Chains A and B, each alone.
Chain A
Amino acid sequence: MHKRLALFLLLVACCQTVLFAGSGKQKYKFGDVKPEDFAPSAYAVDSSADAVYLYDIGSSSYEGNNKGFFSVVFKRHARIRLLHRNAFDHAAAVSIDLYKKSQTEEKLEDLQVATFNLENGVVTTTKLDKSALFEDKNGDFVTEKFTFPNIREGSIIEYSYTVTSPRYYDVPSWFYQGEFPRLFSQYEVTIPTLFDFVFVKQGYHPYSTDTALLSSESYLLVDPGHTATEASTSFTWRGNTVNSVWAMKNVPALKDESFTTTLRNHISSISFQLAAIRWPNREPELYMSNWGKMVEDLLKDEDFGADLAARNAWLNDEMKNIVAPGDSPSQKARKIYAYLRDQFACVSHYGFYLTQPLKKTFQQKKGSVADINMLLTAMLRNQGIGADPVILSTRSHGLAMETYPIMNKFNYLICKAQTEDSTWLLDASYNYLGFNMLDHECYNGSGRTIANPPVLVELSTDSLIERQTATIFLVNDTTGKVSGSINSSPGIFHSMQMRSQLKNKMQADFFRNIQKSYSMDVELTNEGVDSLNQLDCPLSYHYDIAFAFNEDLVYFTPILGDMLYKENPFKASTRTYPVEMDNCIDKMYVLNMEVPKGYKVEELPKSNRVNLNDNEGSFEYIIGTDGENIQMRCHLKLQKANFEPDDYDTLRDFFAFIVKKEKEQIVFKKIKS
């Protein structure tokens, strides 16, 4: 895990010592906008910001509901200063998503929306018409949407609302950071000690307030009765609560950078996971405790592993069509994997719970990534091959905790299979993946087998090496031209991307782009792509070229065509976040060339070798001639895929050197006869 990535964890248990901090709360009253609030034309937090949150304040607390238990009451109140039109579309358009499935329906209340302007020294208020609140229904969700009326550059806009949710196990996350900077952002959470939550904080910005206060409160719960005739009963639950306040001041806007796994990993935020309900005088009801318990529950869960324990005899008939009795375990695994990958459609690459029973996935030949890879696990087991599901968080979903089973941090399921002599990680949900290969989205630190015992599966990009090679032979042909053959393998990860492109009858375009990348006029012949459909290995391509040397002086770049780094991949001149690349690099370029007939070598580039931070990377450029032949070797190695922001300048300079060096030319001079 990255040193800089300040992802840490707090466990709050009811017996833990709780700080008694003075409550230094400021009051934020809706509509209390004064003329002097319009005075600043820019804010120190970011003088070029198009909008600034003057404050963004949220709270979550519990109340007794009429279903006999608790609801979570989430309140939000934000006041935003609009400084430039560019912010209107994003800062002044608000959507609130509400979960509307019966029984757990969320309710929006107390929505207040207003725009404030300063006109002739007086603050004027424009409120949102009810008719301008729009609703979008999509499945189990309803989105309430509005935009602020009467806004201009300089306006202050403000909104507040309350959402009540009977989903007592779901305390909303809070994001201290977003597209616009915030002068003040605070989240206050009051939780009865009945509920034991794990808090996950991430980001780099310091808290200006971080307090917890223990007190006692009573809640009125109304049990509606279980039949129509049964009367409802009310009762009071009294107990301790923990009131926590986390606030930040002057939080800068979130900025996008290339070579970032996901911005999500960098947002200053806090999120919550229910660990247990601590009923009085009873054993705690554990929701999340440790991986062992989690695995036990998941394997019994109908929506996860319950079917894995069964014999799944319904598979037997079809299995006979897929594998042959004499197949080795490895052959069987490969056939089953290919069967699912090629014939099944993955309708969603999100989630690790099953969306339907395995049998239905099998019959319909479609399902989510969890459905398909769980079916893969079941089919492998059916053939006596050891296989377990592995859950992970994809790169775009952000980092997951390794130590604690915080389930909403996971979003993907793959299969780990093993025989006596090998272990494979399998994902049958993408039709371009080879056996024992994963999409780069899966390389996000680690995964966890859901098996006894649960083990950590290393999935680090630092362990992935993209091996690229190119070999070039150039000879004097009989027609007086220099002709050559080029053979190139772009590496296993590039191959995945290229396959879909090349399959689509685009090979002509592909070679055309190669032709374009030459600095001189060349014709490509005998073009071909190998291993296009052998997904288990990298593809390679080859072509022949020929060109004529006529001038007295010929300048020749020995790194041909598309093997050349034309641009520095690290364009930005500064860097905030760590550099997270998809893989390490091992790129080897070899050229063997006859000196063109009638020419001699006037000048050769110098051989050179540079290292990146001692041994994190190296670039070697070695060239030599005996007068008749030129040999060169150019070798780039990057031993790490992840670099700290402090290393950015060095990394950028390293690539700048490569780009420059690779452009150097051989000068051939015509021999005067």
Chain B
Amino acid sequence: MKRLLFLLLVVPFYLQAQQYNISLIPDSLTKNANAVVRMDETSVVIKSSGHAVVTHKYAVTILNEEGNRFAVYSNDYDKLHSLRDISGHLFDANGKQLRSVKSKDIADESDNDFSLATDSRVKSHNFYWRIYPYTVEYEDEQEYYTMFNLPYWMPVNAEHLAVQQSRFTVEAPAGFKLHYKAFNYAAAPQTTANDKTTVLSWQLNNVQPVEREYLSPAWQELTTAVYLAAETFSLNQYEGHMDSWQSLGSFMGSLYAGRDELPDNVKQDVHRLADGLGTQKEKIKVLYKYMQQNTRYISVQLGIGGWQPFDAKFVAAKRYGDCKALSNYMKALLKEAGIEGNCVIISSGRNVNKGLWEDFPANYFNHVILCVPVAKDTTWLECTSQTMAPGFLGNFTDARQALLLAADGGHVVWTPRYTAKDNQQLRSVQAQINEEGNLVADVHTEFTGLQEEERHMLMYDVSKDDREKYLNETLNLPTYKVEQMDFKEQEADIPKVNETLRISAPGYATVSGKRMFIEANLFNKSGRLPAATQPRRYDIEFRSSFRDEDSVHIAIPAGYKAESMPQDVHLAKGFGSYTIHFEIKGNTIVLYRSLERIAGRYPASLYPEFAKFYADMYAADRKRIVLVKE
């Protein structure tokens, strides 16, 4: 009986090796594909709350040059995850094996282009084959020494990639509490259970390639995915639960416990700075500035240090720390002044969807910020920036859900969602054009909220030379020079930058015989012209709202009158509105332009309307006024 079972197991493997002949790929899968996943088997065997074995075997057929990136094997490991038993094979179009990879050919490198120190390393391999189509097959095995994060399954993880067959299997001891969340997978997982183990499996067959669209929702919403979370896990000596946000939060909180003790000199600084101040808001502001002036951001991620902060004393002595350490330090400063702040664990960056799924507690996070909750006047602090205005978050962490760590455990909270009124760019231009078409312009612009961030970086994060270089290369004028520049920032929950520029642009207006041609919309031309023809598949998503206003006055040389004026345009839709108005008053051209966009999710059926809106705006932004000499 045992022998028969052995044979049954071996035969399919043997057959599989023959099955990489490309003629076995259905035609429907190669259309628009650069590569086809022939098979992908991920098996997660959970042994205990602190141990799992993950085996992964997959084969990809590369159809063309663009598909070569799918032929690269790469996987990482660190103190909490081992990686071993890597093997790989290369097959030609007929499925005939050409090469195997030997362990010495697997490159082993530090995974470090960002941190000062990390224990994460990467093993990678590439056959570098260039005769298409070809197939690579790899397998490896990993041991997880913590269930804090578990592998996920995303069978279609890139554009132009088809999948012939992919399966995800999870085995856990009977009674082990495992949660999962599936996207774009209608059925329940196949489940087999006996008194020792429970096995869940998900499978996909014959999936055609996916193509992203302009402003389409996050990738994970477009394609199938399954995420896992273990209700009970251990991380080094710490035990934790993920059955609720409350319990995950109290686990994270335990990693921070007892790490907020400040040295005496810093305590004295806190009292010296904050004791005399009247309001809590003032105290927060002063202490945040103190933190900014006395620390800087350095990334060090070693072992559990990836999740546990350096204590406040370390930060005080070294004057550096990562996001956890700096937030924890800031929390300690506030505590010394009698203010309670909470660390908030968050998923950062622009490509994050909602931050987390509320019905599925798990560890999604890669960043920490600080929050001082007050009814209707909560203060948010990004502690890794040395220049950010107190209370402002910016697009790195805005408008998403995150996990706030409180004494009673974790709470899901929303970070601020900035409105169009918060994110403004208000510009007024006073310009003159002479008979040669040379333009001189004084430009005053007020940037607020998310629109302020780029200017803020220009003020604080680059050298004077780079700032000049940037401004001299990025304004949309043919030939020009920024003669003077000045920036002032007003700090507030919604910070504001006032920018003053003096610009000279020789030959801005085209003089041709007795006529002069002027694009009066000097500095705010929409650059995107979405394709109008294609059928739209996905919803349109705007992540943020904003409002731009431009008011331009251009004095023209005496003796010219308007021969042709562009028509005003006014567009108003659910997702935004646009106005442009042209006028000549005496010898001055007056232009007014406004654009407002409202964040949100809009149905794909609106796409033609949306494309027309952008096309009309694109054209109107570039309209020329024609002047003729009398």
B469 CB within 8 Å of chain A: yes
Question: B563 to A606, Cβ gap below 8 A?
Answer: no
For A652, what are the chain B residues with a Cβ–Cβ distance below 8 Å? 479
B219 CB within 8 Å of chain A: no
For B465, what are the chain A residues with a Cβ–Cβ distance below 8 Å? 48, 255
Range of interface residues on chain A?
A: 35 or more
Question: A664 to B510, Cβ gap below 8 A?
Answer: yes
What are the 7 closest A-B residue pairs judged by CB atoms, nearest first?
A345-B128, A660-B507, A134-B117, A366-B128, A568-B479, A48-B464, A656-B479
Which one, B135-143, B165-173, B317-325, is touching chain A?
A: B317-325
B517 CB within 8 Å of chain A: yes
The residue on B at minimum CB distance from A46 is B465
Q: A343-B130, A660-B510 are in contact. Are A571 and B472 (CB under 8 A)?
A: yes
User: Shortest CB–CB separation between residue B498 and chain A, in angstroms?
Assistant: 21
User: Shortest CB–CB separation between residue A261 and chain B, in angstroms?
Assistant: 19
Mask: chain B, 468-486; 1 = CB below 8 Å from A; 0 = not: 0100110001110100000
Residue with the highest number of chain A CB atoms closer than 10 Å, among B99, B386, B478, B529 = B478
User: Shortest CB–CB separation between residue A245 and chain B, in angstroms?
Assistant: 32
Question: B130 to A345, Cβ gap below 8 A?
Answer: yes
User: Shortest CB–CB separation between residue A147 and chain B, in angstroms?
Assistant: 6
Which one, B222-230, B293-301, B353-361, B445-453, is touching chain A?
A: B293-301
| B residues contacting the other copy or chain, number (CB 8 A) | 57
A365 CB within 8 Å of chain B: yes
User: Shortest CB–CB separation between residue A81 and chain B, in angstroms?
Assistant: 15
Question: B116 to A512, Cβ gap below 8 A?
Answer: no
**When the two chains form the complex, which single residue of A50, A151, A568, A655 contacts B319, counting CB atoms closer than 8 Å?**
A151
Which one, A33-41, A62-70, A85-93, A417-425, is touching chain B?
A: A85-93
For A512, what are the chain B residues with a Cβ–Cβ distance below 8 Å? 529, 531
CA distance A342 to B387 in the complex (A): 52
Task: Name B383-440 residues within 8 Å CB distance of A.
Answer: 386-387, 437
Q: A152-B319, A365-B130 are in contact. Are A567 and B529 (CB under 8 A)?
A: no
Question: B478 to A568, Cβ gap below 8 A?
Answer: yes
B506 CB within 8 Å of chain A: yes
Mask: chain A, 624-639; 1 = CB below 8 Å from B; 0 = not: 0000000000000000
**When the two chains form the complex, which single residue of A151, A365, A566 contacts B296, counting CB atoms closer than 8 Å?**
A151
CA distance A655 to B32 in the complex (A): 42
**When the two chains form the complex, which single residue of B65, B112, B128 contacts A136, counting CB atoms closer than 8 Å?**
B112
- What would be 11 A-B contacts, judged by CB atoms less than 8 Å apart? A85-B296, A126-B317, A136-B110, A136-B112, A150-B317, A151-B296, A345-B130, A516-B618, A571-B472, A605-B513, A660-B437
For A88, what are the chain B residues with a Cβ–Cβ distance below 8 Å? 296
Which one, B12-20, B43-51, B337-345, B619-627, is touching chain A?
A: B619-627
Task: Name B121-150 residues within 8 Å CB distance of A.
Answer: 126-131
For B320, what are the chain A residues with a Cβ–Cβ distance below 8 Å? 147, 149
For A147, what are the chain B residues with a Cβ–Cβ distance below 8 Å? 116, 298, 320
CA distance A137 to B122 in the complex (A): 12
Question: B478 to A138, Cβ gap below 8 A?
Answer: no
For B65, what are the chain A residues with a Cβ–Cβ distance below 8 Å? 431, 503
Question: B626 to A555, Cβ gap below 8 A?
Answer: yes
User: Shortest CB–CB separation between residue A232 and chain B, in angstroms?
Assistant: 34
A553 CB within 8 Å of chain B: yes
CA distance A343 to B132 in the complex (A): 9
CA distance A105 to B618 in the complex (A): 62
A110 CB within 8 Å of chain B: no
Q: A150-B317, A150-B319, A343-B130 are in contact. Are A86 and B462 (CB under 8 A)?
A: yes
A12 CB within 8 Å of chain B: no
For chains A and B in complex, what number of residue pairs have CB atoms within 8 angstroms? Answer: 137
Task: Name B142-188 residues within 8 Å CB distance of A.
Answer: none
Question: B130 to A566, Cβ gap below 8 A?
Answer: no
For A515, what are the chain B residues with a Cβ–Cβ distance below 8 Å? 529
Task: Name B473-520 residues within 8 Å CB distance of A.
Answer: 473, 477-479, 481, 506-507, 510, 512-515, 517
Question: A365 to B131, Cβ gap below 8 A?
Answer: yes
A213 CB within 8 Å of chain B: no
Question: B117 to A145, Cβ gap below 8 A?
Answer: yes
Residue with the highest number of chain B CB atoms closer than 10 Å, among A85, A93, A255 = A85
**When the two chains form the complex, which single residue of B477, B481, B563 contacts A573, counting CB atoms closer than 8 Å?**
B481
Question: B319 to A572, Cβ gap below 8 A?
Answer: no
For A568, what are the chain B residues with a Cβ–Cβ distance below 8 Å? 478-479
Question: B515 to A603, Cβ gap below 8 A?
Answer: yes
Question: A138 to B529, Cβ gap below 8 A?
Answer: no
B66 CB within 8 Å of chain A: yes
For A366, what are the chain B residues with a Cβ–Cβ distance below 8 Å? 127-130
For B463, what are the chain A residues with a Cβ–Cβ distance below 8 Å? 48-50, 84, 86
A103 CB within 8 Å of chain B: no
A519 CB within 8 Å of chain B: yes
The residue on B at minimum CB distance from A666 is B512
A663 CB within 8 Å of chain B: yes
B454 CB within 8 Å of chain A: no
The residue on B at minimum CB distance from A519 is B622
The residue on B at minimum CB distance from A143 is B110
Question: B110 to A137, Cβ gap below 8 A?
Answer: yes
B205 CB within 8 Å of chain A: no
Question: A656 to B506, Cβ gap below 8 A?
Answer: yes
B461 CB within 8 Å of chain A: yes
B564 CB within 8 Å of chain A: yes
For A504, what are the chain B residues with a Cβ–Cβ distance below 8 Å? 66
B269 CB within 8 Å of chain A: no
CA distance A652 to B437 in the complex (A): 18
CA distance A105 to B463 in the complex (A): 39
B282 CB within 8 Å of chain A: no
CA distance A492 to B611 in the complex (A): 35
B568 CB within 8 Å of chain A: no
CA distance A139 to B65 in the complex (A): 29
Question: A665 to B512, Cβ gap below 8 A?
Answer: yes
CA distance A146 to B298 in the complex (A): 11
For B477, what are the chain A residues with a Cβ–Cβ distance below 8 Å? 567
For A431, what are the chain B residues with a Cβ–Cβ distance below 8 Å? 65, 130
Task: Name A326-371 residues within 8 Å CB distance of B.
Answer: 342-345, 347, 364-366
